[in-house]
Structure 1
Amino acid sequence: MIEYLSRGEVAERLGVALPTIDGHVRRGYMPEPDARIGRNYGWLPSTIDEWTDSRPGRGTRTDLTQSCPA
């Protein structure tokens, strides 16, 4: 049987509040859910783990590019 993580379970796994996950979903920061039933989303634990591992560190500016001095 496949088990999916709910938004609340994702929040608990990541150590953040549920409104943080809701904000990530609204802004498109979360990976696409692996399952959707109506308004309920579900993610495989592996999807969340891979997403977490690939995210930059807290407070990292991803809109900046680093240029090397000539």
Structure 2
Amino acid sequence: MMDNLLTSKDIAGLIGVKLETVHRYRVRGDLPEPDGRMGNSPVWRKETIDAWIASRRGHGWRKGQTAGE
């Protein structure tokens, strides 16, 4: 983490998934747009990712399921 900026690798560690999963989230549009770039790498403000994490469904939820399944 640099000055409140998170890389894809930081996000993967924060939510406990592989880096490839974070890339997949980005391709599917499940991850917020980056807040900027550091070189060629996208970066997000910690606040952006904290809000995204808070808005995510509970662990184990899959697209297509409804609440209560």
**Higher fraction of strand:** 2
Q: What residue is the counterpart of 2:8 in the other structure?
A: 7
Equivalent of residue 59 in structure 1, options 40, 48, 61 = 61
TM (normalized to structure 2)?
Answer: 0.76
Q: What residue is the counterpart of 1:17 in the other structure?
A: 18
Identity of paired residues, percent?
35
Q: CA RMSD in A?
A: 2.4
- The residue type paired with residue 14 of structure 1 is I
1:36 to partner: Cα distance: 2.3
1:64 to partner: Cα distance: 4.6
Structure 1: runs of 5 or more not aligned? 66-70
Runs of 4+ in 1 over 4 A off after TM superposition: 60-65
Q: Deviations over 1:27-63 (max 9, x none)?
A: 1100111112464100111111100001111315456
TM (normalized to structure 1)?
Answer: 0.75
User: Which structure has the bigger radius of gyration?
Assistant: 1
